[in-house]
Amino acid sequence: MKERILSGYDNFVLPFMIGMVFLCIYLLIGLIRILKHIPGPDRKKLALSFINPRIIYKDCRDILCDCLLHVKIFKRKALLGYMHASIAFGWFMIIVIGHIEVALYTPQRNGLIYYPVFFRYFTMENNHTLRGAFFFFLMDFFLLVILSGIALAMYKRVRSIALGMRRTTKPSLADRIGLYCLWAIFPLRLLAESFTAGISGGSFLTKPMNFLFANFLSNDYHILPTWWAYSTVLGTFLLVMPFTRYMHIPTEAFLILLRNAGLKVTRPRKGFAEAEIYACSSCGICLDACPMNMQKKNLKYSSVYFIRFLRRHNTRKINEIADKCLMCGKCVALCPVGVESCAIKRAQRSTVTDGLYYDYSYLKTLSPVPANPADVSETMTDKPVLYYAGCMTHLTPGISKAMKEIFRAAEIPYRFLDENGGICCGRPLMLAGKEKAARELVRKNTELIRAAGCDTLVLSCPICFKVFREEYDLQGITILHHTQYIENLIRKGKLKLNATSRSYVYHDPCELGRGAKVYEEPRRILERMGRLVKAEKEKEESICCGGSLGSLTLNYEDRIKITRGSLKALTYNHPDNIITACPLCLKTFAAQSPVKVMDIAQAVTENLEAIREPAASGTEKTQFGN
Amino acid sequence: MADFGYSLTPSSRIDLNKADRETFGKLVKLEPDVLKCMACGSCTASCTAGVYTRTSIRSAILYLQNGREKEALEFIKGCMLCGKCTIVCPRAINTRQLVLSICKIYNLK
Ligand code: SF4
Ligand code: SF4
Ligand code: SF4
Ligand code: SF4
């Protein structure tokens, strides 16, 4: 390998250089802006993360797996994953190998940004070409990988379902320009390198093309124009990149650094949130994920468009979408980039609602529950647990009744914190953006719980469960959802269940599943009582019941459609019963469901082995009969 | 005056000419469903805050319709947005959002 162009420069590199310099300046300014808006303590956290070996390792692993190999997409849809990975990883490898080539064969050109990009133009082969053949092969190989990815991407535009996507995003004008440039870059590179392969050498792809062209085209005349075309398209791509979705390429890596440093969204548009916004690749995976999209008219409320409007500072649309979202978290769970759109939406709601009037002065007058456990007898040896039903459970008293019966059957003394009315846990306020008001409730509830003096807190509502675990300071108190608690009792042998031949399907409530990652306990309980069948979409992909408190403005008709869709997915395998673990899901489903819906606590009481004389409450019909 | 052990209830006559219908119009534009309320009181009966306070969506809507914003405010200021009232409302009114909208439009401080 030796240099062919002695000056090491040709005018055709100019378009590329202009694009590259512009992009670098733009990225630098963006970086400073984001850092400026990150709160002081967070900035310190970020700085510290760069000297923490564990975080550095995590950074490297995440960048490799998420940005280059797209492992998350692979796991869901292999072909789609291949499409993303081939382009990202292939391109990365071409850049790396390009630099290695320069370092090995023309070390005097090290540091020239354009040199590795146009390496084949500036060099020619000599007697030692074989030494370069290995790299030629790699370069051609990765070029082929990228080209296959581009071919898939083109095919996806025509028939997205082939790659496992029902719906794709509508690209904006800038996105379209970027897209066509991206499609053109690599075929042009192939052409340019093929025309030059006679001089600079090539491998299994470029060499045969060179021979082929030579038969009917004069290769030499085509060398310069194709390199110009390649450089121009590449330069254009870099130039428009800041205004397109392809900003995710540099931003995603930066976001991983911020996230691994432990940063959180504090403001809807600035700092960390800005990094998230630019890291969205508009892949459209959140379109199929969103339960609102059971109706086509609601596509416009998807996270991808929320992010797009944030980029464009369209406040009216931003608010409209932020208020509509059910906060079910499915788009966040499935997002390959991990854009926390729900956190951004919450922060956005806060800008509107946090200052609104409220008056909770009555909280001062609220007194703690009586000190005596509600139900104790001499035979009970366990320490009393504290049971908090929550607002929603009071609408579905069947659940708290079932819980009481379970406590009795297991001979556990308990105190019922809000039997005669309590206050809300505060999460609905937080979801609505009223952080300040929510804090007042958090403070009061903490006081009430501490005053009750139990070291286990059992909750029936996943909404409460999530907020108690995440936002309350209840150190020393074990916080359990009743699914976990009942499973504990069964494992310890305190509850015995009859095995039946009934088939159950379990609905993962958003806040318990995706929100708190409790997936297995309820399933283990159900397996003991009967046959557990699968729903069409489960666990991470479970569909919101439609009753979510997360949405502020979604209307009744739209909610019903979601409920029906969710029920359809649940009854996919024709179960006898639908079992859920959230009072809100129960209430929402019970009104629409073709099969009987029960809370898991109710199902457990139905199948309790009679270890004591049958009590009146055991035979009582629960409120949600059929 | 002699004490009869009871007194006359104060007049509840409302002068709609003096009431602020314009702001109510704005609310209706934002939350048209407010007109669907049939004053059944389900929301009030299920209200979490209602155990301790006078929180009542039903009354708030009635008072707003009658142009008595100050009193209406008394009925929603304790709301914790728990959402129970929305679930039970037979007219499918999004009462939870209504509370936020009232606060927004009447700009109550
Ligand atoms: S939010 Fe996530 S899933 Fe949705 S388009 Fe952006 S990157 Fe894709
Ligand atoms: S959180 Fe749920 S409802 Fe909201 S945009 Fe994401 S998937 Fe849709
Ligand atoms: S949302 Fe407000 S008004 Fe409605 S039930 Fe809850 S506390 Fe009462
Ligand atoms: S439940 Fe609905 S219809 Fe009944 S009073 Fe309340 S808001 Fe009006």
- At A302-352, the pLDDT tens digits run 999 999 999 999 999 999 999 999 999 999 999 999 999 999 999 999 999
Are residues A547 and B87, on separate chains, in Cβ contact within 8 Å? Answer: yes
**Residue B8, pLDDT above cutoff 90:** no
Q: What is the mean pLDDT of residues A281-297?
A: 91
Residue A447 has pLDDT above 80, yes or no: yes
State the pLDDT confidence band at A620, using cuts at 50, 70 and 90. Answer: very low
* Nearest by CB: A553 against B51, B82, B97: B97
For residue A127, the model assigns a pLDDT of 56
Query: Two tokens at A497?
Result: 């269940």
Size of interface A-B (CB pairs under 8 A): 83
pLDDT at A526: 94
Give Cα B37 to chain centroid, integer Å: 10
**Nearest-CA neighbor of A219 among A209, A234, A231?**
A209
Q: Which residues pair with A497 in a beta bridge?
A: A608
- Mean pLDDT computed over A33-43: 92
Q: What is the pLDDT of residue A8?
A: 84
Q: Using CA atoms, how far apart are residues A545 and A328, in angstroms rounded to an integer? A: 9
Contact A470, A425 (CB under 8 A): no
Residue pair A576/A502 in contact by the 8 Å Cβ criterion: yes
Residue from A403, A579, A406 nearest A508 by CA: A579
**Structural tokens at position A506:** 């379990």
Q: What is the CA radius of gyration of chain B?
A: 15
Q: Nearest-CA neighbor of A230 among A177, A192, A182?
A: A192
pLDDT higher than 70, residue B59: yes
Q: Provide the whole-model pTM.
A: 0.90
The predicted structure's pLDDT at residue A92 = 95
**Are A567 and A593 in contact, with CB atoms under 8 Å apart?**
yes
Give the lowest-confidence range in A377-386, A445-454, B1-10, B43-52: A377-386
- Residue A511: pLDDT band (50, 70, 90) is very high
Q: Which amino acid is at B90?
A: P
Read off the tokens for A468. 């108690």
CB A306 within 8 A of CB A294: no
The pLDDT of residue A207: 87
Percentage of the residues of chain B whose pLDDT score is greater than 90: 61
Q: Mutate which of A169, A292, A306, A561 to test ligand 2's pocket (most atoms within 8 Å of Cβ)?
A: A292
Domains, in order of start, for chain A: 10-243 (1.20.950), 275-351 (no CATH), 361-490 (3.40.50.1860), 495-625 (3.40.50)
Contacts B46 to A, Cβ<8 Å: 394-395
Q: Rounded to the nearest whole angstrom, what is the distance from the C-alpha of residue A310 to the centroid of ligand 1? A: 13
Examine the pLDDT at A545 and tell me if it is beyond 80: yes
Mean pLDDT (chain A) is 90
pLDDT of residue A94: 95
How does residue A462 score in pLDDT terms, banded at 50, 70 and 90? Answer: very high
Please say if the pLDDT value at position A421 is more than 90: no
Q: What is the rounded CA–CA span in Å between residue A261 and residue A42?
A: 8
Q: Which of B80, B100, B104 sits opposite A424 (nearest CB)?
A: B80
- The residues near A288 (Cβ < 8 Å, ≥ 6 apart) are A165, A166, A167
Q: Helix and strand tally (H, E) in chain B?
A: 6, 0
CB contact under 8 A, B87 and A423: no
Q: Could you tell me which residue, B106 or A30, shows the higher pLDDT?
A: A30
Measured CA to CA, the distance from residue A575 to residue A529 in angstroms comes to 14
What confidence tens digit (pLDDT) does each residue in A170-215 have? 888 999 999 999 999 999 999 999 998 888 888 889 888 888 888 8
Give A274: exposed, middle or buried? Use CB within 10 Å, 0-12, 13-18, 19+: buried
Using pLDDT thresholds of 50, 70 and 90, give the confidence band for residue A164. Answer: confident
